[in-house]
A and B are shown apart, each in its own frame.
Chain A
C-alpha cells in the first residue's frame, strides 16, 4: 500500500511538495477506543445484525423487575445469564400505530425496523439493517446475509416495498453460498484505502493548522480551551488515519466443514439444529469479512414453530390456548417463548466462540434482537421486547435493563443507526418520529 500522509495531501496540492511525518497514535485514543484494535494495532471491522423471533414473550417471565445493571435475570432470560454484561435488555418501547390498522405480526415488526407503522408489508422506508449496511457493509463480498431457520424463505429486510431480501433456509445452501465457489481468502484480499477518508483527514489537518496562529490571539484561559479543541480535532484525525490502515489480518480462521443435510421445517428440534448450524456458519463468514451485516429469522413473526407430532403452531397456540389457571399465562406458548431464548443463547455462543482482538467476535458486533409484538394473543405492539448484544467495537454500552416507559421504539432504531455511523438526525414518522437517542446505550 502506498503510504498516505495527511500533510502530504494538501501541501502537495498547493505547492507540489510531498514530505510528511507519520502521526503517532494518541494515547487517549487507544484508551477510549481500544476495542477497535486487534492485537496488532490494526483495526477490526464492526458488524451489525438483527435476530428476530416471532410471537413476543410472556411478560412476567421475560421483563426484569428492576432496571439498571443489577437486575435479577427473569426465568426466560436465564439461558443468556452468561452474556449479562454484553446484553442490554430494552422493555416497554412502543410501536405507535397512529390509528394505522395493526396487521398482526407485521405492523409491529416493520414499524420497529422502518420507523413507520404500515397496515401491510408495503414498507414506507428501508429497514434499518439496510441503512446501516449502506454505511458499514459496502466493501464486503456480501452486502448482507439473510437466514431463516424455520423453513420459511422470507426476511424482514427491505430496501423498498415489495423487495424483501430473501433468506437462506438451508445450512447446506448457506455454506455453499459463502464458502463455495467465489469464496475469497480474507488475508489474500488487497486493501485499498478509502479516498474519501483520505480527503477528510487532510481537510481536518488543514483546519488544525490554524492552531499556532489562533493560540497567539487569545488569552490564557481561552488558550487552554482552544488547546482542548485542537487536541480533540487531532484525535478525530487519528481515527481516520486508522481507517486508512489495512484491516487486521484474520487470524485463526479455519474453513468450516460442509454441514449435513437437515430437515428444513418448523419442528422446534429441527429449527434449533438448523439455527445452530447456520449461526456457526454466519459467525465464520463474519470472521473472515464475507459480510458485515446479517439478518436472522429464528421463527416467522406469526411463529410457525411447532412441537414434534403437533399440528398446532406456536402462533396458533397464542390464540387458541387458554391461560393456565394456576400460572396465569399460556403454558405451551411459554414453552416456545423459552425455546426462542435458548436459541438466542445458541446464537450468542456461536458468535462469541470466535476469538477476535483481545475479545471475541461478539465484541465487534452489534446485534439487535427483537420480536414482532409483546403479547401475541392480542397482537400488542406496545412494549415489543428488544435486546442488544455486543458493543459494536465499543460503540454502545450494554449490561443493563432499561424500561422504555412507552416511548416510541424508534428511539432504539435511531440510537443503533447513529452508533453504526449512519448520519441520521431523526427517524420515524408521526408519533414515531424522534430525535431522542437512548443515551444509556451510547458510550
Chain B
C-alpha cells in the first residue's frame, strides 16, 4: 500500500463515522454547532496522530500481553495533555465540550487505530494513517455540526442568518440521532456509486 493511500483512506473510503461507525459518543454529543464539531475533531486528531506515532515507535519493545494497557496509558497521556492545554488557552471551548474531552481516551477509533494499524506499521505510515483518520473524523463532525447548527439555530459559526430560533429539535438530543442517520444514509449512497 502506498503512503498516499494510508492517508486518504481515512477521509472517505474508510471514514471512521460514516463507514466504520466508530466514536459515536463525541460525534453525537459535541456537534451542536460547526465550531464545536471542528474543535472536537481536531482535538481527537491530535491524540490520534500522537498516539499512533508513539505506539509505532515502541511497538517492538512492548510484550504482547501488556500491549493494550500500555496503549491505553499512552493515549490517556495525550488526552490529558489536550485537556490541560485547552483548559489553559481555550477555556470557552473546553467548557462546551466538557466531559467529552477526557472521553477521547475511550474513543474506539483511537485505540482501534493504535491496535489495528500503528502496532504493525512504521512511524511514517502510522502518522499518515492517524492524520487521515483524524481528518476524516473531523470532516464528519464538522458536517454534522454544520447541519445541526444551520437547521437548529439558523446560524453557521455563530453567524445568524434568520430571525429567532431554527428547528430546535436539531440542537437537542433527538436531532443528533436523526441528522446522523440521514448523513450516513447519504454517504452510503455516495460510496456505493463510487465503488
Interaction A to B: no
Using a CB–CB distance below 8 Å, which chain B residues touch chain A? none
